[in-house]
A and B are shown apart, each in its own frame.
Chain A
Amino acid sequence: MQLVLKNIDPDYISDTSYSDIWNKEITVTKGEHVHIIAPSGSGKTSLIHFIYGLRTDYKGSIVHDGKNIKNLRAEKKATVRQNSMSIIFQDLRLFDDHTALENIEVKRKLNPFHPPEMIYEMATRMGVANKLPQVIKTCSYGEQQRIAIIRSLMQPFDFLLLDEPFSHLDEENRTKAMELLLEECEKRKAAMIFADLKELDMLKNEKILYL
């Protein structure tokens, strides 16, 4: 399965000539690791949202499994998000008034890839097992980030979209999280699209693109 970005040109960026992505054709195949590097404000989050089908204010097309994401109807988008694409939002997008466990379960039940026990296992590895019964808004941002990472791994996917997923994690937690993400992508033979401000030394055989 492939994800093809064809000449994407956001409506609000005037000069796209220095970019490896804007107005170019890029193909991401299952199993690949793509690292998108860009400074703040250069359109990382927009690109991730374009791919995930949240925004459509761009020219060009993003073709997932032969279909243009832009033209998918809401129900089809839901199917893609349940089966083929998972995401860690930069702004996390957790249900503030619900517990960490509820936040993960609401995703897991939609299309379970793992049994419920796996939540505790992952939370233990990430050092947030004791936070599971806690209401999200009372958790620190770093803890919330780790909950969002676990949530994204509860479903089957072919492409995992990561938008600055480690911004509030220390070096040790970053390594733990990266190991978990790589393992889970390996289980699914999935591609990882990792957007961040700077280069990371944790990715393996990655394709580096400057936005």
Chain B
Amino acid sequence: MGLSSKNITPFIHPEKTWSKWIGYAGLTIGILLLLVSVQMFLNIRVLLKEEAPRKSGAFDYVSISKVITNQNMGSDNRFSPNDIQLLKNQPEITGVAPLYSNQFRATASAGNILPFSTDLFLESINPAFLDTLPKDFQWQPGKVDVPVIFSSEFLEMYNVFAPSQGLPQLSPRTISSVNIFLQCSGTRGSQNFRASIIGLTDRVNSILVPQSFLQWANQEFSGDSSTLVSRVYLKTVDANNPVLLKFLDDHGYYINKDKVRFGRIKGLLQNITGAIASLGVLMIILALIFFGFYLRLKIARSRENIKLLIALGYSPGWLSGVFSKSFLPVYLALILICLGITEVFQFLFSHLSFAQETVGPYIHWIVLATAGVLLIVTMLINRIMVRSEIRQL
């Protein structure tokens, strides 16, 4: 049928009613809430680095150590293999990783560029517990180059005191290009290595070297192969679990509360965006119901005309198509407006101080895809409603 919808639009009652405007307004708010919360959800993921493959959002990682009191100050406060086994046996604890430390003296200097020299500690942990794990975080005996993963908090602290010491401040990128001369010495000898920082970790507050290096160096320089550790990392579903906290308290273990709080905030933020998104979906459903009322009214008002058009030979399917397609420009405009507002929101958000480096100024493709899916779904629901209304005439 080479027919244009223009032929019949004059015969369809132009309906001006409040339910149409409520429908449009509700749809706009709903779509906007949904798009913004999808974008926020993605922003939070980027900000909290959940996109990094090493981080599994379902778990909390916390470090524990024995509480040092005046009473136990003199004695050995390290974890024994028995302590660790006991931790592993707890059902609330998914994984346990002791943090081994150096049993020799380690001194670092940065050569002529950074006139800086310090004693330091080195630790190693099961790589499965790391949030960042570069491929070259490995070491074999005989190699002079030692890869290091550095705590991002330490970098922050360094940048705080560096200016006062006449040292340059370092960005996460430039720190990897600094060559560090690492001197390891102990009762059984001494050796120089070249260390380079190949990654930063938010999870472990330490200077980490590969386990193979630390084991070898402890043996090589101090003849020590002890398995005692002073810090242990726990992987758990919920670090705030009262059962777990009671167990740790009972054994005199101290838990890093900051990490737990961070995890809680992340969860809270995601719950809030989830709630906003659900509100958006609810608004869209309500708006579509209002739209249903509006369509029904419009079709009812044009009922006699539509019946006559069908009696004259117009196909009901074609009429439904024309009817529902007449809403396409409105829906498209609404969705474009919402995308525009979301983009403005994202642009402003990306300029906030805490988001500047990590969050891009443009909306994510998933938001665009969500908008596309919404358009298709609303058009489809619209079409189904129109078709069933016209069929009932």
B129 to chain A, nearest CB (A): 66
Contact of B11 with A75 in the complex, beta carbons under 8 Å = no
Interface residues of A in 82-116 (CB under 8 A from B): 82, 93, 95, 98, 102, 105-107, 109-111
Interface residues on B, range: 10 to 19
Q: Which of B10, B313, B316, B317 contacts A98 (CB 8 A)?
A: B10
Q: Which residues of B contact A80 (CB under 8 A)?
A: 313
Closest chain A residue to B319, Cβ basis: A78
The answer to whether residues A81 and B313 also contact, given A93-B308, A106-B7 and a CB cut-off of 8 A, is yes
Selected from A74, A79, A98, A107, the residue in CB contact (under 8 A) with B312 is A107
Chain A residue nearest to B393 (CB atoms) is A74
Binding site for A on B (CB under 8 A): 1, 3, 7-8, 10-11, 305, 308-318, 391
Given A93-B308, A95-B308, A111 contacting B8 (CB threshold 8 A)? no
Chain A residues whose CB sits within 8 angstroms of the CB of B317 once the complex forms:
74-75
**Is the CB of A54 closer than 8 A to any CB of chain B?**
yes
Query: Given the complex, which residues of B lie within 8 Å of A79, measured CB to CB?
Result: 315
Distance between B235 CB and nearest chain A CB, rounded to angstroms = 63
Q: Which residue of B8, B10, B314, B391 is within 8 Å of A78 (Cβ)?
A: B314
* Contact of A110 with B3 in the complex, beta carbons under 8 Å: yes
Q: How many residues of A contact B (CB 8 A)?
A: 20
Measured in the bound complex, the distance between the Cα atoms of B308 and A92 in whole Å is 11
A110 contacts B10, C-beta separation under 8 Å: no
Cβ distance B14 to chain A, nearest Cβ, rounded Å: 12
Asked whether, in the complex, the Cβ of B11 is within 8 Å of the Cβ of A95, the reply is yes
> Cβ of B315 and Cβ of A75 under 8 Å apart?
yes
What are 6 A-to-B residue pairs whose CB atoms are below 8 Å?
A78-B313, A82-B313, A95-B308, A105-B7, A110-B1, A110-B313
A106–B313 contact, CB under 8 A?
A: no
Contact B3 A102, beta carbon cutoff 8 Å: no
Take A95-B11, A95-B305 as given contacts and tell me if A106 and B312 are in contact as well, using a CB distance cutoff of 8 Å.
yes
* 5 other A-B residue contacts (CB within 8 Å) besides A111-B1, A111-B313: A81-B312, A95-B308, A98-B11, A106-B7, A107-B313
Q: Which residues of A contact B3 (CB under 8 A)?
A: 109-110
CA distance A78 to B318 in the complex (A): 10
On whether A54 and B311 interact (CB within 8 A), knowing A98-B10, A98-B11, the answer reads yes
Q: Give the contacting residue for A74; candidates B8, B11, B316; CB below 8 A.
A: B316
Contacts of B10 in A (CB 8 A): 98, 102
B311 touches A93 (CB 8 A): yes
A70 to chain B, nearest CB (A): 16
- Residues on the B chain within 8 Å of A98, using CB: 10-11
- Cβ contacts under 8 Å, B8 to chain A: 106
Instruction: Kindly list chain A residues whose C-beta atoms are within 8 Å of the C-beta of B7.
Output: 105-106, 109-110
In the complex, what's the smallest C-beta–C-beta distance from A164 to chain B, in angstroms?
17
Q: How far is the CB of A35 from chain B (nearest CB, A)?
A: 24
Partner of A106, one of B11, B315, B391: B11
Please determine whether A110 and B314 come into contact, CB atoms closer than 8 angstroms: yes
